[in-house]
Amino acid sequence: MPLLVKDYTWTQTPSLLYITVPLKGVGPGKVDILCSENYLKVNFPPFLFEVFLCAPIDDTKSSAKVGNGVVVFTLYKKELELWKSLSLTDADKEKMQRIREQAVIKAQEKAKAEKEAKAVQKRDNEKYALQKTMKIEEEERKRIEDLKEQERKRATEELEQWKKVQSQAAEMQMARKEQQLQKEMQNKENKTTNEERQANLSKSLPGSLQQSATGHRGNKIQEKLKEKTLPAPRSSKCLQIQFTPRVFPTALRESRVAEEEEWLQKQADARRAMNADIPELKDLKEGERNPEWLKEKGNKLFATGNYLAAINAYNLAIRLNNKIPALYLNRCACHLKLRNLHKTIEDSSKALELLVPPVPDNAKARLKAHVRRGTAFCELELYVEGLQDYEAALKIDPYNLDVKADAEKIRQRIQGSEP
């Protein structure tokens, strides 16, 4: 049998009513309180306090504070007046039972409405978190596409500049050749003119002078033959020197070529043996057995919405090389899209383990990993763990307004003061 509490006290004003109920050992979370317009009940085993109010109150504004062995009620009256008594004096058992049942039904309807409102709020939060995640990923994809476009334009400009330089060099070389040919033709014409002059001069001279002229002409012919036997001067050209890239950073004079070649051969054999153990790689070409190629393939599949195929591509890339953080980070994004929340947490945690030490170059990757893991925790209603990840993301980028707003909403959800 419960012990009825009768040593309560109450005071009033025209608009408010204060009731103090002493309960030994009572504390927050241990007491069951039911309040309606005409009925007030406090159940703290083995104590029971129940009162049928003589006038209606506003139960939506009224409140109760529990602590230090007492429960203090602050009740708002619907009509501004002073009550002559706290409870009904002429109520029979049937009327009290009816009031009690109506209070219970109203409390159940209120609890049901609050539950539905929380469910709607939860769905809205899930939709909002998903939209934010998709927005972040879309911005990141757009940034990568912009970088690729810039790199393509830069490479095109460099190629055009190189072609222009080569064209100018070819034009200069052709001009030099034409100039050289013109000089040779002019020299030939000059020589022919001189020979003709000497021949005419020798005809007009006496016999002895003709012989000397003939001898002199023979010497000229011999010198000309000697000049013809000499090779022509070489034309100037530009030599392009290319150095063969070396796998090892040491200089060739300081390295041991035989040991290096043996080590490279062993590495190639090990890769072939590892690829042979993976049946899925047998159907791939040699160039496709590359983690970077598989990662790009997974990114394209993710962009088209084929998340399962993207996960398969990332799985093969991880089996080839399990030390690339981007593979785990991209795969956790696919799992988050498919609502595989535990796998999302595992992949993002693995990516954070590989993203060490924390440097500015991997700051964006660490930010994504914390946001995605925090989103997965919140989807599992583990809001404290999710808030920790969002706070870690804010330490990386304190000026990210989206992450800051999400963290504030999670904090309000934990405190129970969300709008």
* Amino acid letter for position 219: N
What is the dihedral sign for C-alpha 209, 211, 212, 213? positive
Predicted local confidence at residue 387, as pLDDT: 92
pLDDT tens sequence across 169-192 = 888 888 888 888 888 888 887 777
* Spatial distance between the Cα atoms of 270 and 275, rounded to a whole number of angstroms: 9
Q: Which is nearest to 387 in space by CA: 407, 413, 409?
A: 407
pLDDT in tens, the chain (419 residues): 677 778 888 888 888 888 888 888 777 767 788 888 888 888 877 788 888 888 888 888 888 888 778 888 888 888 888 888 878 777 677 777 887 788 888 888 888 888 888 989 988 888 898 888 889 999 999 999 999 999 889 888 888 888 888 888 888 888 888 888 888 888 887 777 766 766 665 555 455 444 454 555 556 556 665 555 666 677 777 877 776 666 556 666 666 677 777 777 776 666 665 555 555 555 566 656 678 888 999 999 999 999 999 999 999 889 888 889 999 999 999 999 999 999 999 999 999 999 988 899 999 999 999 999 999 999 998 989 999 999 999 999 999 999 999 999 998 888 876 54
Burial label, 373 (beta-carbon count in 10 A; 0-12, 13-18, 19+): buried
What is the dihedral sign for C-alpha 50, 55, 61, 63? negative
Strand order in the sheet with 16-22: 9-12, 16-22, 70-77, 57-67
* Spatial distance between the Cα atoms of 73 and 109, rounded to a whole number of angstroms: 22
Task: Share the mean pLDDT of the chain.
Answer: 81
Q: 337-342: long-range contacts at Cβ-Cβ below 8 A with a sequence spacing of 24 or more?
A: 337/307, 338/307, 338/308, 339/379, 341/376, 341/379, 341/380, 342/376
Predicted local confidence at residue 208, as pLDDT: 47
* Spatial distance between the Cα atoms of 352 and 328, rounded to a whole number of angstroms: 9
- β-bridge mates for residue 9, sequence order: 20
* Amino acid letter for position 359: V
Q: Can you name the CATH fold of 323-415?
A: 1.25.40
- For the chain, residues classed under CATH 2.60.40.790 are 3-91
Angle between helices 307-320 and 291-303 (to 10 degrees): 170
Q: What is the DSSP letter of 54?
A: S
- For the chain, residues classed under CATH 1.25.40.10 are 323-415
Predicted local confidence at residue 326, as pLDDT: 93
Q: Do the Cβ atoms of 400 and 363 come closer than 8 Å?
A: no
Q: 61-65: long-range contacts at Cβ-Cβ below 8 A with a sequence spacing of 24 or more?
A: 62/35, 64/33, 64/35
Task: Provide Rg for the chain, Cα atoms.
Answer: 47
- Cα atoms in the Cβ-side hemisphere of radius 13 Å centred on 409: 17
pLDDT tens sequence across 58-97 = 888 888 888 778 888 888 888 888 888 878 777 677 777 8
* Spatial distance between the Cα atoms of 207 and 3, rounded to a whole number of angstroms: 165
Place of tokens 């539905």: 116
Q: Which is nearest to 49 in space by CA: 24, 78, 12?
A: 24
Q: 3-91 architecture in CATH?
A: Sandwich (2.60)
